[in-house]
Amino acid sequence: MKNPVVLRNECIDIIVKKLSEISIPSKVRCLRFWVVDDFYDSLFDYAYTTEDMIDKVKLELENDGYKRLADLTMEISSGLPETSQAVVIKPDEIICEKVIFSHATVCQIPGKGTMHQESYRLEFKEKAIYNIGTYIIPPLDGSYRENYIAINEQETDALQMEINQHVSRTHADIRVVNGCFCLHASLKGCRYGTKIIREGIDFPITSVNQFEPLQDQDIIVLGRQFMMKFCL
């Protein structure tokens, strides 16, 4: 095991780096770091407390220009998390997990197309896949899958139906990949158009091998104009 001072400095550097890389929604006000028991004893003692490390992390974040992160409440605990929002610290890896969330929600945007429900809840489960397309259960011809997020193929408003009809039956899906929700498009989804709009910037999905990580308040665009909002 390395010298405690070296370990602490490495831990602080990597915490700062990871926090600057991951997306933390604006509604999050507190971050809790969990340190596995054996490693916790190597980092902290009567002369160096968890508050000392948090102060140093906040100082480094502020110096690097991440004032919003520096203003968050932070806590360090020993053991492993029981909550779904956690950063886990282990020896050698230091940080092994992103900030994750127990669920997300996708909501329809008024005037931008309609779904069978106004919103859908997505549970955070490893390898979960939530299909997106027209029809909840498409015609039983054996060629289509069931859609969890279903675009309304029976919309009676002509303008909304014009938007809906440019979404295919097997357009896209949201799936959990490497600890985060990602948007993925089928061949038809790539052909007809699938993208994320984030802070005014387009992130198109042009390959079935592309899995684009989703962030809080992202706008998902399907076809020409259909839009839904992704929220953590």
Condensed to tens digits (0 to 9), the pLDDT of residues 206-232 reads 999 999 988 888 999 999 899 999 987
CA distances from residue 73 to 11, 24, 66, 102 in whole angstroms, order as listed: 18, 13, 14, 20
pLDDT score at 83: 45
Does residue 93 carry a pLDDT above 50? no
Convert the pLDDT of each residue in 146-202 to its tens digit. 899 999 988 999 999 999 999 998 999 999 876 678 999 999 999 999 999 998 999
- Joined together, the tokens standing for residue 108 give 């329809």
pLDDT score at 84: 45
Does residue 88 carry a pLDDT above 70? no
Rounded (10°) angle between helices 50-63 and 4-21: 50
Q: What dihedral angle (degrees, nearest 10) is formed by the CA atoms of 208, 213, 218, 224?
A: -10
pLDDT score at 150: 93
Higher pLDDT, 13 or 205: 205
pLDDT score at 95: 41
Residue of 61, 96, 93 whose CA lies nearest to 81: 96
Does residue 85 carry a pLDDT above 60? no
Q: How far apart are CA 65 and CA 51, in angstroms?
A: 21
CA 153 to chain centre: 28
CA distances from residue 117 to 113, 155, 181, 191, 218 in whole angstroms, order as listed: 12, 12, 20, 26, 19
Convert the pLDDT of each residue in 20-69 to its tens digit. 776 666 666 667 777 766 677 778 887 888 899 889 989 998 888 888 88
pLDDT band at 1 (very low <50, low <70, confident <90, very high): low
pLDDT score at 99: 43
Higher pLDDT, 2 or 76: 76
pLDDT score at 97: 41
Residue of 181, 179, 172 whose CA lies nearest to 212: 181
